[in-house]
Amino acid sequence: MGKEDDNLEFEVSASTAGNGDDVVDDDVWDDDDASDSPGCGSVLDREWAYRQNQFRKMGYRDGITEGQKDAAQEGFNIGFMESVHIAYRWGLVRGITSALASLPDRLKEKLLPSDQCRVRLQSLHNSVQEISADDALQMFHESTLDSNRPLEEPHVKSEEDEAADSSRLETLPKNLLLLLHECPNIKVHEEMARVM
């Protein structure tokens, strides 16, 4: 199209718009014209159905997200309550046995006067050090699963291994407390005795 054609179109449009009688009302929201045109109702119905479907999906997604947050928080709270006492005791056992085992021999002899107590301390320390924090967490997790598992489900580990693993987390603090009570030079605070 040339420059002359552009001018011609402009002139035609301007002359048509200039005449007040020939102006067409292009009101999009005019109800009279919309109801007469074929297929207009179906377009509105489709748009309404589409919007309704979109809002339903958004509401469903929001509900799922909120439900997952609530379930995750509830699961965390339950897991925390179940594990905090065992983890605290486990931390005490690791800390106390490590501290006592790292003492020089002359101080160990003062605190643990009998050879039997020193041997038991070293044995307890070795037992604790064999279990990493990840292993302890895994043992606790497996013991929790075992307590919730139906009896007819097959076990990957033997029952004796599982019982030994879960009971080790519970018996090591008790063994340390017994050892500390047998050593008169080591004072055990009452709160620690209650925790263990």
Lowest mean pLDDT among 36-40, 85-89, 185-189: 36-40
Whether 115 maps to a domain, the answer reads: yes
The 10s digit of each residue's pLDDT in 147-165 is: 766 555 544 545 455 445 5
Residue 103 lies in a domain: yes
| Percentage, residues of the chain above pLDDT 90 | 9
Residue 67 belongs to a domain: no
For residues 124-141, give the mean pLDDT. 86
pLDDT of residue 58: 92
| Main-chain phi, psi angles of 44, to 5 degrees | -65, -40
Query: Residue 116 corresponds to which amino acid?
Result: Q
Q: DSSP class of residue 26?
A: -
Distance CA 102, CA 125 (A): 10
Is residue 46 in a domain?
no
What domain range includes position 188?
A: 85-195
Q: 41-88, pLDDT tens digit by residue?
A: 788 889 999 999 999 999 989 889 888 888 888 888 888 888 888 888
Asked if the model's pLDDT at residue 10 lies above 50, the reply is no
Looking at the domain assignment, is residue 44 inside a domain?
A: no
- 105-135 b/e with 16+ CB inside 10 Å = b? eeebeebbeeeebbebbeebbeebeebeeee
Percent of the chain's residues with pLDDT above 70:
65
Residue from 98, 77, 83, 72 nearest 137 by CA: 83
What is the per-residue DSSP string for 63-78? Answer: HHHHHHHHHHHHHHHH
Spatial separation of the C-alpha atoms in residues 155 and 180, rounded to whole Å: 37
Residue 114 — left, alpha, or beta (φ > 0 → left; ψ -120 to 50 → alpha)? Answer: beta
Instruction: Give the residue, 143 or 91, on which the prediction is more confident.
Output: 91
Task: Give the list of residues 6+ apart from residue 113 with CB closer than 8 angstroms, or none.
Answer: 183, 185
Question: Which one-letter DSSP state was computed for residue 22?
Answer: G
pTM, rounded to two decimals: 0.54
Residue 1: inside a domain, yes or no?
no
- What pLDDT shows up at residue 193? 67
Has residue 5 been placed in a domain?
A: no
Give domain status of residue 156, yes or no.
yes
Number of domains in the chain: 1
